[in-house]
Amino acid sequence: MKWVYIVSITALVILMFIFQWPKIKTVEKNEKIAFITLTVLGWAIAIFYVIFPSMPSPAKIVDFTLMQISNIFRTLW
Amino acid sequence: MIEKGKISALQMGLLMYHAILATGILFIPATVFNVAKQDIWISPILASPLGFLSVYIAYKLNKYYPKDTIMQYSKHILGTFWGKMLGLLLLLLLITSLSVMFWQYGEYVVSEFLPHTPKSVIIGMMVILCAFAVHGGLEVLGRLAGMVFPVFFLLFLVIIILVLPDVEVKRMLPVMENGLMPSLKGAWVLCTWFAQFGIIYFFLPFLTDREKGLKFGMLSVLVVTLTLVVTNIIVIWLFGNVTENFNAPFMSASRYISLAEFLSHLESIVMAIWIAGTFIKLCVFYYVVVIGTAEWLNLSDYRSLVLPMGFLIGVFAMQAFLNSAEAAEHFRIVSHEIMDTLVYGLLIPIFLFLGAYIRKTIFKHKVRRTN
């Protein structure tokens, strides 16, 4: 079942690429690099989440970090 | 400047109104009721100074650096490296916050209205819709907010008037049974929402009438406070002590309406205004994330980032929480312990403001004296 998700995510990313790439002007090199990096990052994270569904989400990581910081403050109090 | 469009101060106020209230109007009464009991209507009044403070700090920072958003003046204040680091922290918090909002939207629509639709479809559709709006730029968002607000407000009033036959004022009594403390605790919960007014720092440089920015920002906080007070009063008049049994009491209140036996099931109206408001809210935060990233990377155009960013946020939103129990734990942490919105809405701006103040006043004095 997992490969269905992987194939559809890849198809979505390719569609996004086809839609957006011609619209970036050829002189804007930084834009192209940023676009490719973000797209690849999003694709990789999506694949990781498909393969390891129990990987923590950013919301939980932020919660955990903030809780740690507040605990430090509480012990200092 | 990266954004070529301009909005008026009024449109900015409307954008902020939706950005705060869209989720608040549904979830605030039940969340605050856990601590404040029948005094929930006092809490927004007590929490509103925080909103005023966030807007004021953002305005003061904008006065120091009129043409820059926070990503640029953090570099001016802290130097390039630390400015970039602070910008990265801000972006990560905003992306996380936005992914939670998308999750909340998806979860709510699935649980209340479309139980058989997969959540990925609902979130994906909303991401695509928001991506088109954000691609249009700030002017589009401003006009959308101006278009949605009258409908939102009118239908809100209609619901309130239709609920009125069922209310009972004595459910609100005794006022301040246990002193001011419960409503103060409720106000602390509400800080999560009021601190979000801080993201106004992304809009202030793009105003056509910048001198009115403070006025309309403050007005927006005031209207949000009033709307929350009215919502909370109506909810408590209608439900009294059973408020906590509802996830979204205002929605349940509209289910309650049955006028002359033919005007009933008005929850579709609430859903309509809620979807419209949430759409604006998500667009505002999406725009902020995209333009923040583009400025952080020193790009000249932010439009190419809209789709990849949307994809990333969609993935995060899908995976934000595995089930509602985890989400409830998250919302308990952010509303009772320490809040991420407080960090990016108030603490970071205050820190930058202190830095800017030291730079602009104390060091300037020194320079003048040596001259």
Taking only the tens place, the pLDDT of each residue in A24-68 is 877 778 888 888 898 999 999 888 888 888 888 888 888 888 888
Looking at CA atoms only, how far is residue B314 from chain A in angstroms? 9
Bridge-based pairing of strands B258-259 and B263-264 is antiparallel
Among chain A residues, the shortest Cα distance to B128 is held by A16
Q: Is A50 on the interface with B (CB under 8 A)?
A: no
Query: In chain B, which residues have their Cβ closer than 8 Å to the Cβ of A54?
Result: 322
Looking at CA atoms only, how far is residue A8 from chain B in angstroms? 12
Is pLDDT of B105 > 70?
Answer: yes
Q: Is A18 on the interface with B (CB under 8 A)?
A: no
**Domain boundaries, given as residue ranges, for chain B:** 9-370
- The complex scores an ipTM of 0.91
Please give the CATH topology (third level) of the domain spanning B9-370: Amino acid/polyamine transporter I (1.20.1740)
Looking at CA atoms only, how far is residue A4 from chain B in angstroms? 14
Which of A26, A43, A60 is the best residue to mutate to test the B interface, defined by the most B CB atoms within 10 Å of its own CB?
Answer: A60
Taking only the tens place, the pLDDT of each residue in B121-130 is 999 999 999 9
Among chain B residues, the shortest Cα distance to A22 is held by B304
Residue B45: enclosing H or E segment and its boundaries? helix B43-64
Report the alpha-carbon distance of residue B166 to residue B170 in Å, rounded: 12
Q: Residue B223 — very low, low, confident or very high, per pLDDT cuts 50/70/90?
A: very high
Token reading at B35: 């601590």
Q: What is the mean pLDDT of residues B4-17?
A: 88
Q: What is the mean pLDDT of residues B294-304?
A: 87
| Preceding peptide of B174 cis, ω within 30° | yes
pTM for the predicted model, two decimal places: 0.91
Report the alpha-carbon distance of residue B114 to residue B122 in Å, rounded: 9
